[in-house]
């Protein structure tokens, strides 16, 4: 697990978004901060790709990978997606997931 830099960690702690699970909306119990994007073999420490997840969801992350990708991609700007779209076209992935989850 990659450490979140102190400045970013402080920013996340102040942001109400990180107080509840982005999948279930649960605010009680432990909320883990999940690094959802791996790039060049490393977890990416950018706000858009660190997701707050209830421990029960985080413990079964493989079951929720697609919906976590959808949440993450919709939090990113086009410029952020372009920066990481090397082997995977994240803008296209976002379009496909939006077709599934926005219907």
pTM higher than 0.95, yes or no? no
89 Rama sector, left if φ>0, alpha if ψ -120 to 50, beta otherwise: beta
pLDDT of residue 49: 97
Digits of tens for pLDDT over the chain (103 positions)?
Answer: 789 999 999 999 999 999 999 999 999 999 999 999 999 999 999 999 999 999 999 999 999 999 999 999 999 999 999 999 999 999 999 999 999 999 7
Q: Where are the domains of the chain?
A: 6-101
Helix, strand or coil for residue 89? coil
What is the maximum alpha-carbon separation in the chain? Answer: 38
């Amino acid at each position: 697990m990659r450490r979140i830099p102190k400045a970013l960690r402080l920013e996340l702690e102040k942001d109400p978004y990180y107080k509840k699970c982005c999948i279930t909306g649960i605010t009680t119990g432990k909320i883990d901060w999940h690094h959802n994007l791996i790039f060049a073999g490393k977890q990416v420490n950018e706000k858009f790709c660190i997701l707050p997840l209830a421990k029960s969801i985080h413990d079964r992350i493989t079951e929720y990978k697609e919906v976590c990708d959808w949440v993450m991609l919709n939090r990113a700007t086009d410029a952020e997606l372009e920066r990481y779209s090397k082997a995977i076209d994240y803008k296209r992935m976002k379009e496909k997931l939006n077709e599934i989850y926005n219907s």
